[in-house]
């Protein structure tokens, strides 16, 4: 029996996330910040959209065959999204991640049936803070596994599908939810898919919309090159890798924002206690960046950002101390 309002699977629940006003955090400011709640996805993060898109496209092209194996480098969120899709569609999933990522992400992956290949951090790295050198070690192990197993690698850093997912869904949803009445978009850059894809869609609809990438304050590589990197170690997991994403489009950036660990943490905690939004480090950084604009913009400016993932993935970290 078919039911019109019943989805075929949890994969079909990805996307169409709510956009909410963060008016309590913006009280008294000239600008208004809206946050897109990406933890509403089944994998609890913005990466669910990319995971579905890359698997859809790999199936369509024949790059991923029935019963195949998927191997991906991840800080946890992309791997979790892939694990959700792979569980539904019958693929084996191997997530290659740094030991510096939070244990909740690892345990969630394993609970979804994925195999987690944990890579020790580079010498000198700080536990809980994944740096560029850590990511390089993870990349090496990922390539080894792909070669050994003949696996499909989504390769989110280089795969155009990662950008298209946000261009075709996130950007369009924001335009529909605001009626196109927004002035700026703010998002952290890791692999770059969220910023690039969403900015493409927004600027196509209205070139006057300003788009601002966010970077960790000690790793401002996109904004300033190597001169902007004073310490590649920071707490903003999934971003600030001190590299230019291969799919990066500099013309989409109308300026750059920098957020330090303390401001990201403080803002994430304020999101919870003032807005009832329980989110992670990256969401705190995004909203902190958006608030920077909201303090200095013209009256009535509407700024949209992304609440990347749930705070449940960080309960073992100092974001939520016992």
- CATH classification at residue 309: 3.40.50.1100
Chosen domain end from 100, 122, 149: 149
State the pLDDT confidence band at 62, using cuts at 50, 70 and 90: very high
Q: How far from 200 is each of 177, 255, 270, CA to CA, in Å?
A: 17, 15, 30
Who contacts 53 (Cβ-Cβ below 8 Å, separation ≥6)? 161, 162, 164, 165, 168
Give the pTM: 0.93
Listed in order, strand segments (DSSP E) in 217-321 are 257-259, 302-307
**Co-location of 234 and 279 in the same domain:** yes
Residue 123 has pLDDT above 90, yes or no: no
Sheet containing strand 115-119, edge to edge, reads: 69-73, 92-98, 115-119
**Co-location of 242 and 193 in the same domain:** yes
Count of the separate structural domains present in the chain: 2
Chosen domain end from 149, 178, 205: 149
> CA–CA separation, 106 vs 147, rounded Å?
23
In a domain, 75, yes or no: yes
In a domain, 154, yes or no: no
Q: Which residue has the tokens 């803070």?
A: 129
3-state secondary structure of 44: coil
State the pLDDT confidence band at 305, using cuts at 50, 70 and 90: very high
**Co-location of 38 and 169 in the same domain:** yes
* Active-site hit among 47, 142, 210, 235: 47
**Tokens at 29, concatenated:** 């400011």
**Co-location of 298 and 172 in the same domain:** yes
pLDDT in the model for residue 201:
98
In a domain, 138, yes or no: yes
**Co-location of 139 and 166 in the same domain:** no
**Co-location of 34 and 181 in the same domain:** yes
In a domain, 322, yes or no: no
In a domain, 129, yes or no: yes
| Among the ranges given (7-21, 201-215, 217-231), the one the predictor scored with the smallest mean pLDDT | 217-231
pLDDT in the model for residue 1:
61
The boundaries of the domain holding residue 135 are 47-149
State the pLDDT confidence band at 130, using cuts at 50, 70 and 90: confident
pLDDT in tens, 8-42: 999 999 999 999 999 999 999 999 999 999 999 99
In a domain, 2, yes or no: no
pLDDT in the model for residue 28:
97
Residue 244 has pLDDT above 70, yes or no: yes
Q: How far from 317 is each of 103, 139, 282, 312, CA to CA, in Å?
A: 9, 24, 13, 10
In a domain, 1, yes or no: no
Residue 233 has pLDDT above 90, yes or no: no
Return mean pLDDT, the chain. 94
CA 311 distance to own-chain centroid = 13
- Is 47 annotated in the active site? yes
Chosen domain end from 99, 115, 149: 149
For residue 166, give the DSSP letter. Answer: I
pLDDT in tens, 80-91: 999 999 999 999
**Co-location of 222 and 121 in the same domain:** no
**Co-location of 129 and 264 in the same domain:** no
**φ and ψ at residue 46, rounded to 5 degrees:** -65, -20
**Co-location of 108 and 254 in the same domain:** no
**Co-location of 210 and 234 in the same domain:** yes
In a domain, 41, yes or no: yes
More confident residue, 103 or 29: 29
Q: Tell me what the mean pLDDT of segment 154-166 comes to.
A: 96
**Co-location of 245 and 257 in the same domain:** yes
Q: Tell me what the mean pLDDT of segment 274-287 comes to.
A: 97
**Co-location of 171 and 188 in the same domain:** yes
């Amino acid at each position: 029996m078919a039911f019109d309002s019943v989805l075929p699977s949890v994969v079909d629940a990805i996307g169409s996330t709510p956009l909410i006003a963060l008016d309590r955090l913006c009280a008294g400011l000239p600008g208004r910040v809206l946050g897109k709640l990406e933890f509403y996805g089944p994998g609890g993060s913005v990466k669910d959209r990319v995971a579905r898109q890359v698997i859809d496209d790999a199936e369509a092209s024949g790059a991923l065959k029935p019963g195949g194996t998927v191997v991906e480098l991840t800080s946890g969120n992309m791997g979790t999204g892939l694990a959700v899709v792979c569980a539904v569609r019958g693929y084996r999933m191997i997530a290659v991640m740094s030991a510096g990522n939070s244990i909740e992400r690892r345990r969630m992956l394993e609970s979804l049936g994925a195999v987690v290949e944990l890579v020790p951090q580079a010498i000198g790295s700080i536990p809980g803070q994944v740096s560029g050198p850590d990511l390089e070690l993870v990349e090496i192990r990922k390539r080894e596994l792909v070669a050994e197993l003949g696996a499909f690698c989504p390769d989110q850093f280089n795969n155009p599908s990662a950008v298209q997912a946000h261009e075709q869904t996130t950007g369009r949803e924001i335009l529909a939810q605001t009626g196109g009445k927004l002035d700026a978009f703010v998002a952290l850059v890791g692999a770059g898919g969220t910023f690039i894809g969403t900015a493409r869609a927004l600027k196509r609809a209205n070139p006057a919309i300003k788009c601002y990438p966010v970077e960790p304050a000690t790793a401002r590589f996109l904004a300033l090159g190597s001169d902007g990197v004073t310490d590649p170690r920071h707490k903003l997991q999934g971003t600030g890798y001190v590299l230019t994403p291969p799919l990066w489009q500099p013309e989409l950036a109308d300026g750059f924002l920098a957020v330090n660990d303390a401001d990201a943490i403080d803002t994430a905690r304020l999101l919870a206690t003032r807005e009832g939004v329980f989110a992670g480090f990256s969401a705190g950084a995004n909203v902190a960046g958006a608030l920077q604009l909201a303090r200095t913009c013209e009256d009535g400016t509407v700024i949209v950002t992304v609440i990347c993932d749930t705070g449940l993935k960080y309960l073992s970290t100092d974001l939520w101390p016992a």
